[in-house]
Amino acid sequence: MELLNFMYSNTLSTNTAPALLDVLMAADKFEVASCMRHCSRLLRNLPMTPESALLYLDLPSSVLMADAVQPLTDAAKQFLADRYKDISKYQDEVMNLPLAGIEAVLSSDDLQVASEDALYDFVLKWTRTHYQKLEERQDILSSHLGRSIRFPYMTPRKLRKVLTCNDFDHDFATKAVIDALFFKAESAHRQRTHAAEEASSSTSRRFVERAYKYRPVKLVEFELPRQQCVVYLDLKREECANLFPSGRVYSQAFHLGGQGFFLSAHCNMDQQSSFHCFGLFLGMQEKGSVTFAVDYEFAARSKPTEEYISKYKGNYTFTGGKAVGYRNLFSIPWTSFIAEDSLYFINGILHLRAELTIKR
């Protein structure tokens, strides 16, 4: 009756979500597209809940329905992405979401996760919980959830595990890891161009960086003549600006000689001159009483040549949880470092490099 009323008067008397959904389904059955769009618009203006959002994502997939409710399903996906932005806070709820719901959450660039490695582990846990059979997991990961994992921002150590994980179809895993490694090998400028092209030309956003708690790094490893690695950490100008007056940002962990290390960038007070400045530190992850003697060198790209210029070098014997570095890496006040004409921001990016070599 509501559908007939709309066809003659272009209005509906109902205004509750369940009743509007009933009218929407009837309008879909009788192909009344204008009524479907009207119901979709009214539903979009009502307060949304996790339950209603999941209902909207589970609507029939007819061509007319998909076109009429696209703004509604987009709003439902955004609602779920915003609500469960901090997965750790709602872990039990997120673990119980159906496939359409977890896809909406994983699609967000604003997801608050420590790293893409951590998100990968969460996706595997969710998939193993909801799909007991190996063949089902491989299908779901290849056709759905695997496409939501941003492999280019995973660490090389974790990417190696992807290749040996039975939950992934071998061909899918191989292509995902190869694409990720090629992306990591590109220059920072090309990476940003690549990500922008991907975001504008495809529904996939696998090359778009999320707002990770731990900043991704690029790593080059050498085994001979000595165990050595070169680590590249890029920070945006706004990330650096947000460090003032006493903030710090940590990199993802990277490994050398089987031991985990990390970089941390700080805004701190120069102890000699009492002004704020930019500092860079190298730390070793907590792991028993192991000690590591390491030669290290910090460098940064600088105008006008835009080449990496060595800023600080030394050697240090690490024990678990210890860090070493330089409180004023550039030997200038914070105001000069962050200024618009700063020598160290190239196209809005601060490029840092750390070289580590294990001492024999």
State the CATH number of the domain containing residue 349: 2.60.210.10
Same domain, 45 and 128: no
Let me know whether 196 and 230 are in one domain: no
Residue-wise pLDDT for 187-206, tens only, equals 555 555 666 666 554 445 78
Same domain flag for 343 and 242: yes
My answer on whether 256 and 320 are in the same domain is yes
Considering the domain boundaries, does residue 94 fall inside one?
no
Residue 149 lies in a domain: yes
Domain that holds residue 153: 109-201
The pLDDT score that the predictor gives to residue 189 is: 53
CB atoms within 10 A of CB 222: 13
**What pLDDT, on the 0 to 100 scale, is given for residue 287?**
65
What per-residue string of b and e applies to 308-331 under the rule 16 or more CB within 10 Å gives b?
beebbeeebebebeeebbbebbbe
What is the reported pLDDT for 203? 47
Residue 66 vs residue 51, higher pLDDT: 51
Provide the angle, in degrees to the nearest 10, between the axes of the packed helices 99-106 and 50-57. 100
R_g of the chain computed on alpha carbons? 25
Give the span between the Cα atoms of 173 and 82, in whole angstroms.
29
Range with top average pLDDT, 156-160, 189-193, 300-304: 300-304
Are residues 183 and 219 located together in one domain of the fold? no
- Domain count within the chain: 3
Distances (CA, A) of 151 to 176, 218, 250: 7, 13, 20
Which CA distances in Å does 206 have to 103, 129, 247?
13, 24, 29
Residue 91 is assigned to a structural domain of this protein:
no
Q: What is the pLDDT of residue 61?
A: 80
Looking at the fold, whether 225 and 334 belong to one and the same domain comes out as yes
Please write the tens of the pLDDT for every residue from 58-105.
Answer: 998 887 888 899 999 999 999 999 999 999 899 999 999 999 999 999
Q: Lowest-confidence range among 213-227, 268-282, 346-360? A: 213-227
pLDDT at 220: 85
Question: Residue 13 is encoded by which pair of tokens?
Answer: 């008397």
Identify the pLDDT of residue 192: 58
Domain match, 334 and 248 both: yes
Evaluate if residue 10 carries a pLDDT over 90: no
Question: Quick one: tokens of 121?
Answer: 């582990």
Q: How far is CA 9 from CA 13, 16, 153, in A?
A: 11, 19, 54
pLDDT at 352: 97
Q: Measure the CA dihedral 50/55/58/63, to 10°.
A: -120
For residues 181 and 236, state if they share a domain: no
Q: Average of pLDDT values for 214-221?
A: 89
Q: Is the pLDDT confidence value at 213 over 70?
A: yes
Of 169, 201, 233, the one marking the end of a domain is: 201
| pLDDT score at 202 | 45
Among 23-32, 180-189, 228-237, 345-354, whose mean pLDDT is lowest?
Answer: 180-189
pLDDT of res. 278: 97
pLDDT of residue 188: 55
Q: 125 and 9: one domain?
A: no
- Residue-averaged pLDDT of the chain: 90
162 close to 173: Cβ distance less than 8 angstroms:
yes
Helix or strand holding residue 318 (H, E): strand 307-319
Give me the pLDDT at residue 355, please: 96
What is residue 193's predicted lDDT score, i.e. its pLDDT? 60
279 Cα distance to chain centroid: 25
What was the pLDDT predicted at 198? 60
Q: Which residue has the tokens 């191989």?
A: 174
Residue 133 φ then ψ, to 5°: -85, 135
Given 201, 226, 257, the domain boundary residue is 201
- Asked whether residue 333 falls in the same domain as residue 286, the answer is yes
